[in-house]
Amino acid sequence: MSEKMIENNKVSVIGKIVSGFTFSHEVFGEGFYMVDVAVNRLSEQADIIPLMVSERLIDVHEDYIGCTIEALGQFRSYNRHEGVKNRLMLSIFVREVHFMEEFTDYTKTNQIFLDGYICKAPIYRKTPLGREIADILLAVNRPYGKSDYIPCISWGRNARFASSFTVGTRVRIWGRVQSREYTKKISETECEKRIAYEVSISKLECDEVE
């Protein structure tokens, strides 16, 4: 696959492995496995981010819990069928992995760049404390006619800017991948804790619409 094709979706995270490997799927005899990595924020919290790793990149039968790794790849989405509904699942598809002995520069632990298209109208809102937020859904093209659908969240000035985007606008985003817990109501009596993944935007640019 040409490098040119994947310039529009680049992510790198550095963190500690916090789970074992679970089998995800197989493509042409190559097994892919999921593993969770805890990536520190500057605020002492950590984002728990799922990685999808080929068995050809790492020995998936080893126990690496507690090891620090750097993973480079793409942020990808796929639809998982749950009964009658589809659920958008997100993970980092890993192309390179490096084990690290020690790590100190926490400003570089979580970086993503996306170049894609707005695929539904942005949702702009204010929190009770007056903080401005805009949610956008970005379609990022992949080779062979596929796309990844990546939820992104912007704040303040960026949120005001993003609220003006129309469907089809080409947007470039720099930011970080974050995880967020929320409660999903399943029925009148049942709730389930889930984790959402999104890109927290630090900088964005859009092509001027003609």
The pairing of strands 85-100 and 147-155 is unpaired
Domain made up of 109-204: CATH architecture: Beta Barrel (2.40)
Domain borders along the chain are: 109-204
Instruction: Give the tokens for residue 82.
Output: 């749950």
Provide the pLDDT for residue 106.
66
Provide the pLDDT for residue 182.
84
Q: Report the mean per-residue pLDDT for the chain.
A: 90
Ramachandran class of 58: left when φ > 0, alpha when ψ lies in -120 to 50, beta otherwise? beta
CA gap 59, 99 in Å, rounded: 12
Residues lower than pLDDT 50 in the chain = 1-3, 210
Provide the pLDDT for residue 201.
97
Provide the pLDDT for residue 209.
54
Please list, in sequence order, all residues whose beta carbon lies within 8 angstroms of the beta carbon of residue 167, skipping any fewer than 6 positions away: 118, 119, 120, 121
